[in-house]
Structure 1
């Protein structure tokens, strides 16, 4: 599984391409997730007394753990009468070591901001009008 992860630089290149692909389509979502990468080993299994003493033992490990960052798009299906085309799901992932987190998050924030630049602002007025109508009916 470790061979499936991209390098950080390649991840950012493909993430920018993923944002641009969704912008060109005019619809779709990019899902970003991150979590601590835990390694499977019996050495990390706590003793029952350790769990009783500290039920949150796994929140402060002895050595900092790397993070896995994932990005994917939503799979699109062709719809009659629209300009939507079939798009395959794209999945990206990279592993970030604890000593590289600050530099990674700086680039990650820039990439996310650039990817959100073409978003349209939500129309909140329409929702407020709908709520007022519902209140008036009740």
Structure 2
């Protein structure tokens, strides 16, 4: 399984290509996930006293744990009645060692900002805003008394 992961440099190259591929196609999603990498060892089961003392014992391990970063595009299937072609699923991942996390995440943030620079602002439908305004107006009933 370790052979499936890219080096950090290769990961950034492929991530840039993934953003560019998505931008040129004009549609699709890119999923970015990060998880801590846990190893299955004989000592993985906690002792009963450890659990009683701290129910969150696994959130602060004795040794720093590496992080695995995944990036993939959304595999697209053609819709019925359209000429849209299916897009090949691209999946990349890398493992970041604890001593390299700060430098990696600084570069990762820059790569994500650069890749997302061409996004369009989402158009909101005006109907939702109008409904809220109408509810407020209809709910306010004022009566005037002369006196």
* TM-score higher than 0.5: yes
Rg (Cα) greater in structure: 2
* Total equivalences in the alignment: 135
- For 1:102 and 1:95, the matched residues in 2 are separated by 14
Q: Distance in 2 between matches of 1:70 and 1:5?
A: 9
Task: Say yes or no: does 1:132 pair with 2:127.
Answer: no
Distance apart, 1:135 and its partner CA: 6.6
Partner of 1:42: 42
**Corresponding residue number in structure 1 for 2:143:** none
Partner of 1:116: 116
* 2:31 paired residue number: 31
Can you list the C-alpha shifts for 1:16-48, whole angstroms capped at 9, x where unaligned? 100011111110000000010000111122111
The residue matched to 1:61 in structure 2 has which SS? Answer: coil
Distance 2:82 2:39 in 1: 48
CA RMSD of aligned residues (A): 1.8
Provide the TM-score with structure 2 as the length reference. Answer: 0.84
Q: Shift of residue 77 of structure 1?
A: 1.6
Q: Residues 92-121 of structure 1, C-alpha deviation per residue, up to 9 Å, x if partnerless?
A: 110000000111011101110011011001
TM-score normalized with structure 1 length: 0.89
Determine helix, strand or coil for the equivalent of 1:22: helix
